[in-house]
Amino acid sequence: MPSRRPPWPYGVRPDDQPPADADRLLVWLARRQWRSLAAGACFGIPWMLSIALVPAAIGRAVDDGIVARDGRALVLWSLSVVGLGLLSAAAGNGRHWFAVKNWLTAAFRAGVVADRAVRRTGPALTRTMPAGEVLASFTSDFGRMGHSFDVLARFMGAVVSFVVVAVILLRGSLLLGMVMLLGGPLLVASLAFVMKPLQRRQTAQREEAGRLTALGADTVSGLRVLRGIGGEESFLDRYRAQSQTVRRAGVRVAGTQATLDAAQVLLPGLFVLVVTAVGANLAVAGEITPGQLVAFYGYTAFLTIPLQTAVEMADKLITTRVAARRVARIVGTDPDHPAEAARGWTPPDAVLADPESGVTVEPGVLTALVGARPEETAAVAGRLGRTARGRHGVTWGGTALDDLPVADVRARILVSQADPRLFSGAVRDELGGPDDDARLAALTVADADDALAAVDEGLDGELEERGRSLSGGQRQRLALARALLRDPDVLVLVEPTSAVDAHTEARIAVRLAEHRKGRTTVVVTASPLLLDHADVVHLVEDGRVAATGTHRELSRTDPRYWAVVVRGEEEDR
């Protein structure tokens, strides 16, 4: 039974199912780091409480030391002020450390959850959400997901210190205590008139920014086509219009945000004025002592901190919920095949079958598909690797391929298409593989030594964009080596030698058959050189298997097969 513990403290368990609701997702994240959140609160509460008690110590120093002319009491309460300052400094360091940890942990775990959801849903995600919105989540939303976790320790300290100060004021003056207990919450509640519009406008601004990102990404991917048809100006007009929409949405957000920022200063300031005025009248009337008046003034000055912290918490919570909605939307997207989220599947070493075409692939066998219409055999290969959309009934060991987890299928079955893509970067990184010995061995099987020699510095050299400095055959052979290095349980190669000469193809055919001996391999080709090394050959006509046998058997007995192979040989010439 697999362990339920994550691989490291900030990971996500394989069986964790994060909720697809913003608020529940935030609670779900908080539950997984409750220890660090509690530790932050244990530092945040004494940090702010020590600041709150300084006015009380100063007030006692005034009454018991200065007014009463007691030097010992003055020294004692002065030392108390120093002790509270040291406690505040020590607790503040711990609070800040845990605040940063909580922020980073929440942001990272949100990123892990979203990344896992993207891998699970695959192409279904971008059909549900714009690609730009997904990209915006990965570039900005995760950091915002941690903002509320960052402020939480200070907010807990603000709540506790506010209650303590209110109790002290109630003991000194019932009127001042009531002003504190009723006025503070009312001020914070009044911010709801600003926070709700801010949340709506932030959501709208994020959506428009996501559309702008998607527009830019789509344009970059089709830049060459745009230039070819002279569409740059049309794109610029669309991008300019969307950019202005984002700007206007940002201005609307900025106005509401400025109102909230101003409220963080104005409302606590008004509250301080009210409490100070009431305290001064009580002191003049003789209902409180001079020390209490000093303490009350200190309390009112201090109260700006918890009130501003409460406002900041509300502001950060709005930002966090907006980001959480987008992440929750990613998490809640259903894959094309609902059972893809299954866990614990072990791929069977059994027959891979496509009922639509009648093709069966025995385990450990080199199987070839050949047909007069290459698109038909390529479609069969795509279904075997589940690269085509929709349910086709392909089974592996009697289990429907569509009912197996996407991650497992992609890890176990690799389809290398006829036009594989190479990316810019180091050759070593492009190829992958465990080590250089394995890379060189795969290059030898693919007869790609000359392709490696064509790159300055060999494996350490840099490939240009799409490998354009190499010939078509060299790119094809590098892609073949890359596929071999993945060492999947089932390797499907679509026309792997279509761009090489006959001598090179003959070497690849011999080495490929030897290298993949005992492993399940499917080759889509009409080349006699490759077909001659296949254990089983399926002739496909009109999307169905028309004949099955070895290359030599079919060449002797089936004129249709012979016509396809001879035509393919003539085309190669």
Q: 209: domain CATH number? A: 1.20.1560.10
Q: Which of 38, 30, 237, 35 is nearest to 149 (CA)?
A: 30
Residue 95, in any domain of the structure: yes
What is the number of structural domains in the chain? 2
Residue 59: which pLDDT band, with cuts at 50, 70 and 90?
A: confident
Residue 521 has pLDDT above 90, yes or no: yes
- Are 388 and 300 contained in the same domain? no
The residue with greater pLDDT, 232 or 339, is: 232
Mean pLDDT of the chain: 79
pTM of the model: 0.51
- Are 375 and 400 contained in the same domain? yes
pLDDT, position 484: 92
- Are 299 and 354 contained in the same domain? no
Tell me the two tokens of residue 302: 């201090």
Tens digits of residue pLDDT in 113-152: 888 888 777 666 766 776 666 776 777 777 788 888 888 8
- Are 166 and 239 contained in the same domain? yes
Residue 317, in any domain of the structure: yes
- Are 305 and 354 contained in the same domain? no
> Which percentage of the chain shows pLDDT scores above 90?
16
CB count, 10 Å around CB of 432? 14
The residue with greater pLDDT, 370 or 128, is: 370
Q: How many Cα neighbours within 13 Å face the side chain of 58?
A: 14
Residue 97, in any domain of the structure: yes
Tens digits of residue pLDDT in 146-198: 888 888 889 999 889 888 887 887 777 777 777 766 776 777 667 666 666 76
Residue 422: which pLDDT band, with cuts at 50, 70 and 90?
A: confident
pLDDT, position 510: 93
- Are 322 and 383 contained in the same domain? no
pLDDT, position 224: 52
Residue pair 323/144 in contact (Cβ under 8 Å)? The answer is yes
- Of 300, 331, 362, which closes a domain? 331
- Of 307, 331, 355, which closes a domain? 331
- Are 386 and 275 contained in the same domain? no
Range of the structural domain that residue 384 is part of: 347-572
Domain CATH number, residue 525: 3.40.50.300
Residue 479: which pLDDT band, with cuts at 50, 70 and 90?
A: confident
- Are 70 and 162 contained in the same domain? yes
Residue 266 has pLDDT above 70, yes or no: yes
- Are 404 and 305 contained in the same domain? no
Residue 336, in any domain of the structure: no
- Are 118 and 262 contained in the same domain? yes
Pairing verdict, β 490-494 and 413-416: parallel
Enumerate long-range contacts of 262-266, CB under 8 Å, 24 or more apart.
263/191, 263/194, 263/311, 264/308, 264/311, 264/312, 265/308
- Are 407 and 288 contained in the same domain? no
Residue pair 261/309 in contact (Cβ under 8 Å)? The answer is no
- Cβ partners under 8 Å of residue 339, min gap 6: 402, 403, 404, 405
Tens digits of residue pLDDT in 450-472: 888 887 777 877 777 666 667 77
- Are 351 and 485 contained in the same domain? yes
pLDDT, position 4: 45
Residue 17, in any domain of the structure: no
